[in-house]
Amino acid sequence: MSAHRGRQLANATTALIVVAVLAVLYSLYFARAFLVPIAFALLLDFLLSPLVRLLGKARIPTPAGAAIVVLTLVGSIGFGAYQLGGTAQRFLDEAPQGIARAQAQIGKLLRPLARVSANAEKVAAVAGAPAPGKQPAQVVVVGPSMATRLAGTTQRFLGALLQILMLLFFLLAGGDLFLEKTISLLPLLTDKKKAVRIARDIESSVSTYLIANLGLNIVEGAIVGVALWAIGLPNALLWSLIVVAMEFIPFVGAIIMVGLLSLASLASFTDLPHILMVPGVYLIANFVQGNVVSTMVLGKRLALNSVALFVGLAFWFWIWGLPGAFIGVPLMSVFKICCDHIDSLAPFGELLGARADPKRPLTPSETIAV
């Protein structure tokens, strides 16, 4: 083969790879309504499969165990929604007044800047600056009301939740069906054993991460909720649950919480110490949880470097929106585990890994040649 022919082949291969990557990105984006529930169901399957196997050891059939686990999950969600329904409704009813009070407080804080701007305009007028012409009439387009948007969002959320729960039941009831099918497609016994090892590693690592992270977030939410209640912020219980949810989104979740709590404090208090205490309490709890407690509990499990973590979260948020931000870390963790066990993807696993992880060459029993 000539050098020119080789370059043409290399260029064609590169072009095909680029087209394939773009096709995957477009598919992930346009099929997000279909793929997001599947991703959530798979992650919940990793989390809850050990419970189904535990029930199986008690001689409970796998389908019955799956039904028990899913019904328990549905009951927990329903009970929590029922208990918090009144609080959430009051919060939504009071939101317009709270936003107005927050705007008034922000206006007071920005009043000195407004005076400076007014003085600058007077100076410009004295200097002979042209007066603004007649402002054209503004056309205000009235969009759907907040109640209409909320109803549409709730309908989509309930539909996605139903898909997740149904798929989760079938995954749990099927047990290791898809793993067995995958193993049957591999020709070599060693590859079959390695595939089982990869699946169990993903299940163990992801379930441990999710359980530990959920526990840490609940503890942090409880501490923040008690502190906010002691300060006197209304709806402290609801804020504690929002903290639990937002802590699943690294970096961005903390920024969102600081902004929301700052608005809530501006709407609830008039003195500067209380206004600063509300977001300050959360920042302290978040710093301790993220830099001390999480390191002690999780250790090096699923260690991802900060740059890869941030880029990955931005990617999944861009592709799937807020649901992608919630499940971005577990999805990246699954990808890293696969990279660590498949030799052709090992460089990607090394790039995703944290600096604290020493590079260890994989043995032949830990890799699958592809």
Token pair for 337: 């585990």
pLDDT tens-digit readout, 274-313: 888 888 899 998 888 877 777 676 655 556 777 888 888 8
What confidence category does residue 122 fall into, taking pLDDT thresholds of 50, 70 and 90? low
Question: Is there a contact between 223 and 285 (Cβ–Cβ < 8 Å)?
Answer: yes
Question: Is there a contact between 134 and 28 (Cβ–Cβ < 8 Å)?
Answer: no
What's the whole-model pTM score? Answer: 0.70
Residue 223 has a pLDDT of 92
d(CA 151, CA 291): 39
Residue 18 has a pLDDT of 84
Residue 368 has a pLDDT of 39
pLDDT tens-digit readout, 340-365: 777 777 788 788 876 654 444 444 33
Domain ranges of the chain: 30-109+148-175, 189-370
Please give the share of the chain, as a percent, with pLDDT higher than 90.
4
- Helix segments in the chain, DSSP class H: 3-30, 32-57, 62-109, 111-126, 146-174, 177-185, 189-231, 236-246, 252-268, 272-288, 294-298, 306-320, 322-341, 346-352
Token pair for 75: 């009951």
**What are 353's strand-pairing partners?**
304
CA dihedral 99, 101, 105, 110 (to 10 degrees): 60
Residue 352 has a pLDDT of 80
Three-class SS of residue 235?
A: coil
Question: Is there a contact between 210 and 50 (Cβ–Cβ < 8 Å)?
Answer: no
Three-class SS of residue 50?
A: helix
Residue 123 has a pLDDT of 57
Residue 51 has a pLDDT of 87
DSSP 227: H
Residue 99 has a pLDDT of 66
pLDDT tens-digit readout, 314-326: 888 888 888 888 8
The highest-confidence range among 151-155, 221-225, 354-358, by mean pLDDT, is: 221-225
The residues near 195 (Cβ < 8 Å, ≥ 6 apart) are: 179, 182, 183, 186, 368
Least confident range from 74-78, 142-146, 208-212, 353-357: namely: 142-146
d(CA 189, CA 194): 9
Token pair for 186: 């591999």
Average pLDDT for the chain:
76
Residue 305 has a pLDDT of 76
Per-position b or e across 73-95, b if 16+ CB within 10 A of its CB: beeeeeeeeeeeeeeeeebeeee
Residue 363 has a pLDDT of 41
Residue 192 has a pLDDT of 79
pLDDT tens-digit readout, 226-256: 998 998 888 888 888 888 888 888 778 888 8
What confidence category does residue 149 fall into, taking pLDDT thresholds of 50, 70 and 90? low
pLDDT tens-digit readout, 161-176: 888 999 999 988 887 7
